[in-house]
Amino acid sequence: MSLARAAGAVVGPSKRAGTTLLQRRAASSHAHDEHHHEEYHDTNVYEPEVFNTPFWRRAAIAAVGIVAFYKYAPAPGDENPIAKYISSTMTPAKVYQDVSFKHLIGSAQISDDTKLMVDAKPPVVHRYRYPQRFEQYSPHLQPVGIKVSVGDVVVKRD
């Protein structure tokens, strides 16, 4: 708010009592007309919007090339020089089958070796609390027909 308007609001409020809010708002929106006398001029230089730019030329050439390719391209089953060249430079499928089969055999051997190593366990050793009992058995009080021979048992001393 300008200083003059503020002074007028303080000094003479009785004169303005009859003005409505709408009139005051309209007056305040046009208070700075001195700034609107200048016209805005765009100083940028724009190229004319035409369809003969290099982009549209290339797009039209590409579209014609794509249409010609689909119209004159050979069918998938037809023999043509490009297909012959590609088939002559390719490695036969039999070579890849042999390599794949050798890889399968090698993978199976490695998996068998891995399973053998994972499932490997030390030999079962029966440890008795009192191994000297083999030497202390009584030949008496044995039932008829049962004869226990412990002669071939070797007791290891740890």
Q: How big, in percent rounded to 5, are the helix, strand and coil portions of the chain?
A: 55, 0, 45
pLDDT top residue among 45 and 28 = 45
13-22, 32-41, 119-128 — most confident range: 119-128
Where does the pLDDT of residue 91 fall: very low under 50, low under 70, confident under 90, or very high at 90 and above?
very high
Three-state SS letters, 58-88:
HHHHHHHHHHHHHHHCCCCCCCCHHHHHHHH
3-21: pLDDT as tens digits: 666 666 655 555 555 555 5
Q: Using CA atoms, how far apart are residues 129 and 57, in angstroms rounded to an integer?
A: 98
The structure tokens listed for 32 are: 């700075």
What pTM was computed for the model?
A: 0.34
Which two three-digit tokens encode residue 150? 């412990």
Give the whole-angstrom CA distance, residue 55 versus residue 50.
Answer: 11
